[in-house]
Amino acid sequence: MKRIKVKSLLSKPLLGSEVLVKGWVRTKRGNKNILFIALNDGSTINNIQIVVEAASFDENLLKDISTGACIAVTGKLVESQGQGQNIEISASSIELYGKSDAETYPLQKKGHSMEFLRENAHLRFRTNTFGAVFRIRHAMAFAIHNYFNDKGFFYLHTPIITGSDCEGAGEMFHVTTMDLKNMPHNEDGSVDYNNDFFGKETNLTVSGQLEGELGALSLGDIYTFGPTFRAENSNTPRHLAEFWMIEPEMAFYDLKDNMDLAEDFVKYLIRYALENCREDLEFLNSMIDKALLDRLKFVVENEFVRITYTEAVSILLASGRKWEYMVGWGRDLQAEHERYLVEEHFKRPVILTDYPKEIKAFYMKQNDDGKTVRAMDVLFPGIGEIIGGSQREEQYDKLLNRIKELKLQEKDFWWYLDTRKFGSAPHSGFGLGFERLILFVTGMSNIRDVIPFPRTPKNAEF
Ligand code: ATP
Ligand code: MN
């Protein structure tokens, strides 16, 4: 007989039919005559109840079926006599695939802390919460490809190992095959990479944007969706050392088009979750965050506020608040400022634009005022920055000037500058942090709990 997944079994139950299900035991209860097993196979948050007449089975087999064990069950699908489920399987045969030692299985009881589950990340998929989170994570990845494919964007694979530092920002993970105990040096004391694998210094990428621009200036609209790496030592609930980023890049888009796309895109994703991940979201709404569903609906139904950085600074200065970090024109906004704007002042997502050029990257389009650039950050409640983007500087001279002003190595950017020499075009793009999106959609509060195996300072287990 062919195995059926619990999700399809529950979606159109054929009462009276023989079925074969396979999964992991969540709970077993009952008495010496009859047992009730809650079986979960990961396809849905819902378990299927297995009813076992003890007299028809080997006593030792039944003893071995404890929480965490993996079994295959054949039986008849019947209407349930008990409360809590409509249907159940009356078991005719059970095969035990894998026992689970009752003494040492870590997930015995309910209500483990998130920290405990993080230490047991190899097994945490088997809890209701993490099952829901990772099914939603999948649905969001699928919806992202769907959205862009429908709009005629091309999925571009940008390199993970790069020879360039996207923003001149530093904080990258080096990639080398050289012997760390015996590094060759140049006369001036710097490391000699000539004999390294690539013959030059290389790193793990912090962003696929620069390569993405090359694609957009030929294919029109592209997006990347891949892992990015930052070696910054920020131990916060919103930063990972390895995270996934979605970076669309569009020819002929100005900043307004860019904002329109960003807003439409995240609203599409949230709507997709509301329509396709209902049961998982309802579970998270009841167990993790009671305001989750209302917040998701609110974001889908309301327009984002759009104001400039300069206006935001005035609002913050007029707020009468005492800030931990000082507010002033030219200073970067901190999480406390972003969250004040979103959660207290406007009470909805905010897009901030036109930041001072000193606090933004070299490639952003310079405004005529000589002071600001066409940057945009999308700020979300509970999260802060979820998207960062800009219109790009498409003029060769202005771009080169900025590279020089910032003392970046002109020769490292020869291929990037070439695009501004040969058929340059206005274009824009942004980066959405995938895990920050999942944080928002699931209502989870720590970014370590929305990626299967988090990489953070001093932590690379599993
Ligand atoms: P932040 O100020 O929050 O550190 P950033 O300005 O350095 O972020 P960008 O370089 O603009 O981030 O990256 C684009 C997006 O990638 C951000 O809006 C955010 O959603 C996400 N992101 C950036 N850094 C991280 C990180 N360390 N872990 C997870 N997501 C991140
Ligand atoms: Mn940013």
Angle ∠(438,440,446) on CA atoms, nearest 5: 75
pLDDT tens profile 21-64: 999 999 999 999 999 999 999 999 999 999 999 999 999 999 99
Task: Report, as an integer, the average pLDDT of 345-358.
Answer: 97
C-beta of 386 in contact with ligand 1 (< 6 A): yes
Q: How far is the CA of 89 from the centre of ligand 1 (A)?
A: 48
134 touches 125 (CB < 8 A) = yes
Closest CA to 237 of 387, 453, 454: 454
Q: Which two tokens stand for residue 122?
A: 């190899």
- For residue 287, the SS3 value is helix
Question: For a pocket test of ligand 1, which of 233, 239, 247, 373 has the largest count of ligand atoms closer than 8 A to its C-beta?
Answer: 239
Query: Measuring CA to CA, how many Å separate 448 from each of 36, 82, 118, 119, 419?
Result: 35, 38, 8, 11, 38
Band of the pLDDT at 244, cuts 50, 70, 90?
A: very high
pLDDT of residue 45: 97
pLDDT(109) > 80: no
Band of the pLDDT at 81, cuts 50, 70, 90?
A: confident
- Phi/psi for 360 (5° steps) reads -125, 170
Task: Report, as an integer, the average pLDDT of 241-258.
Answer: 98
Which ligand is closest in space to the CA of residue 333?
1
Mean pLDDT over each residue of the chain, to the nearest integer: 95
Question: For a pocket test of ligand 1, which of 167, 225, 245 has the largest count of ligand atoms closer than 8 A to its C-beta?
Answer: 245
C-beta of 144 in contact with ligand 1 (< 6 A): no
pLDDT of residue 170: 57
pLDDT of residue 363: 96
Question: For a pocket test of ligand 1, which of 385, 441, 446, 447 has the largest count of ligand atoms closer than 8 A to its C-beta?
Answer: 385
Compare 424 and 85 and report the one with higher pLDDT: 424
CA distance 111 to 117: 10
pLDDT(8) > 80: yes
Atom of ligand 1 nearest to the CA of 167: 10
CA-nearest residue for atom 24, ligand 1, is: 239
pLDDT(83) > 90: no
C-beta of 243 in contact with ligand 1 (< 6 A): yes
Q: How far is the CA of 388 from the centre of ligand 2 (A)?
A: 4
Q: Which two tokens stand for residue 6?
A: 């619990």
Q: Give percent above pLDDT 90 in the chain.
A: 92
C-beta of 247 in contact with ligand 1 (< 6 A): no
Task: Report, as an integer, the average pLDDT of 324-336.
Answer: 96
- Phi/psi for 315 (5° steps) reads -60, -45
CA distance 422 to 411: 17
pLDDT of residue 168: 56
pLDDT of residue 13: 86
Whose tokens are 């309802």? That residue is: 282
User: 330: Cβ–Cβ under 8 A, 6 or more apart, which residues?
Assistant: 356, 358, 359
pLDDT tens profile 163-209: 875 555 558 999 999 999 999 999 999 999 999 999 999 999 999 99
CA-nearest residue for atom 25, ligand 1, is: 239
User: 190: Cβ–Cβ under 8 A, 6 or more apart, which residues?
Assistant: none
The DSSP bridge pattern shows strands 161-162 and 202-204 to be antiparallel
Amino acid letter at 1? Answer: M
Q: Give percent above pLDDT 70 in the chain.
A: 99
Q: What is the model's pTM?
A: 0.96
- For residue 230, the SS3 value is coil
pLDDT of residue 458: 95
Angle ∠(106,107,112) on CA atoms, nearest 5: 105
| Element spanning 434, H or E | helix 434-442
pLDDT of residue 281: 98
User: 78: Cβ–Cβ under 8 A, 6 or more apart, which residues?
Assistant: 15, 16, 87, 88, 89, 90
CA distance 352 to 379: 8
CA-nearest residue for atom 5, ligand 1, is: 388
CB atoms within 10 A of CB 21: 22
CB atoms within 10 A of CB 460: 11
